[in-house]
Amino acid sequence: MLSRTLIVATLLALAGCATTPLSTGTNAVASAHPLATQAGLQALQTGGNAFDAAIATAAVLAVVEPYSAGMGGGGFWLLQKRNRETVMIDARETAPGQSHPDMYLNEAGEVRSDQPSLNGPLAAGIPGQPAAFAHINRLYAERPLRANLAAAIRLARQGFRIDERYRDLASWRRKVLRQHPDSARVFLHKGKVPETGTLLRQPALADTLEQLAEDGAEGFYSGPVARQLVEDVQAAGGIWTKADLAAYQIIERDPVTIRYRDAVIQTASLPSSGGMALAQMFGMMAERPITELYPEPDAVDRIHYRTELMRRAYRDRARHMGDPAYTDVPRERLRSSDYLARQAGSIEPLTASDSRTLFDAGTGGRHTTHLSVLDSDGRRVSATLSINWPFGSGFLSGQTGILLNNEMNDFAIKPGVPNAYGLVGGKANQVEAGKRPLSSMSPTLIDTPQRSAIIGTPGGSRIISMVFLGLLDVMDGHPAGAIVSRPRYHHQYQPDQIQHEPEAFTPDQRFRLQALGHRLENVGREYGNMQLILTDHTSGQTQAVADPRGIGQAIAQPVD
């Protein structure tokens, strides 16, 4: 992997930036909830930098979006400092110490029908979110951690009014929430989904946040909070131990850096599969541009071409990617020009590929959330955070107010068997004690001579394809509002189909894609919740835009 110094130097040269730090004169925050965006902006207005604002924003999201992210989950953060050096914060969950490859299989070796990798405390990995707050605040922020958690503590203790998005997702997970008394007590009302406008208070979560503010990571991973968490989890059949919590560590990693034409893209590295998959897709485009297939490509040609790129990248995700501490991922091979040229060369201009026939490299959301932050000195944060499914595992630790994730389902529960998002995996991503499950979360920064952007989205397995299409739109000069609202389509190798939003294709496009041999699957709803901050280097204007599919808010505020 390239050193950070070389990455920064290359980014500055290729993006056409000056050697002095980028200074926009604008503070901007985009997140999936207005209360979180406002907390982040207030942090910027009261002496904080982008990293303070990101913590404040994420902490509020942990309170007001219990269906998407929280203190019982984790995620990936890209932090870019004033000198343009970028670091990835890996706050992905880890498998408890008693985990093993067969823990979700029955005596016959088949996946258990009661779905313990999805529902209940056995589905939960050890959270990374509290450690991320403490780590980022200690090394990169300006304000005390207590100040950055203050808005979240207040909203947890005093409450906030629930909205239709909360009701929709609570309705979808009501059955599992009702199975756990503390979950039902906090998130439901007499077993039913509360009405819009109901005040939701989480005093136990406020107490836990107070402990984190007072003592940092130790306030969560040891002491009373850790003891209470373990008591609640074990009483409900989970396998967490105090040693599991005490052993959790944040990992700082180099981001994946992609150079395509005049753009420099920085995104998450393993155990996020996003960086590798995006690098492969852009690498295939460089090896075989669409104009080689179609001298004058129309919309259907582009859809077919991009779908075939997705198909190949997701295939390698399924076969080769996992936690690099446990799996020897052939990263150089997967990104080599020889391999990518061969992959791109296998794309047929008039025929959809059969996923079963793709060759091998060899070894030689709705749930999840995203936030984007920019400060007036040019620091940037792109962070994608998750508890996996809506309301995670559905299990709430009553003593601590922590809603547990169900990220263990992101492991390959059994090789070749799809997870909740239809993704298949193999031994590289099998369950092992202490291991971090493979993820699709792809927080991303992009710089071109014309524009810079902070971009990301929730969406499970579809995150990578959404970010890919969004990056292409940034490079093509599309307006910020159009980038976040564009119709979406996706291919993930298996199932062998183009999944798409209801209005993604015209009738003619559907007919022509099917004539090429593509199977189309209308998912029946819109998906994703992209948060974008876009700076135009010519005009100096910065725009912050929240996805209209969600209830988020984005604010760009010039600083005098």
Q: Which residues are annotated as a binding site?
A: 92, 386-388, 410, 439-440, 460
Round to whole Å and give the CA distance between 423 and 459. Answer: 13
Q: Of 57, 208, 327, 368, which residue is the catalytic one?
A: 368
Question: Could you tell me the CA-to-CA distances from 167 to 159, 193, 229, 338 in Å, in that order?
Answer: 16, 6, 27, 50
Q: Which residues of 15-25 are buried (b: 16+ CB within 10 A; e: fewer)?
A: bebeeeebebe
Residue 506 CA to its chain's centroid (Å) = 30
Which 3 state secondary structure label does DSSP give 257?
strand
CA distance 451 to 475: 8
- Give me the helix-helix angle, 203-215 and 145-158, nearest 10°: 170
Residue 352 CA: distances (Å) to CA of 304, 305, 308, 346, 495: 8, 9, 7, 11, 14
Query: Dihedral, CA atoms, 390, 394, 397, 400, nearest 10 degrees?
Result: 20
Q: Residue 439, SS3?
A: strand
Helix axis angle, 463-475 relative to 274-287, nearest 10°?
50
Q: Is the N-terminal amide bond of 437 cis, ω within 30° of 0? A: no
Strands (E), 347-450: 369-374, 380-386, 396-397, 402-403, 444-447
Of residues 201, 121, 140, 156, the one with CA closest to residue 39? 156
Cite the annotated binding site for L-glutamate by residue number: 92, 386-388, 410, 439-440, 460
Q: Is 542 a catalytic residue?
A: no
Specify the amino acid at residue 36: A
Planar angle of CA 219, 223, 227, nearest 5 degrees: 115
Cα–Cα separations (whole angstroms), residue 471 to 90, 259, 443: 22, 12, 12
| The two three-digit tokens of residue 367, written as one number | 């749930």
Alpha carbon 443 to chain centroid distance? 6
Copy the structure tokens of residue 36. 């979180």
Over the Cα atoms of the chain, what is R_g?
Answer: 22
Q: b/e for 521-535, b at 16 or more Cβ within 10 A?
A: eeeeebbbbbbbbbb
What is the CA angle 447-449-452, rounded to 5?
Answer: 35
Instruction: Find out whether 403 and 387 touch, Cβ atoms under 8 Å.
Output: yes
Q: Which active-site residues does the annotation give?
A: 368
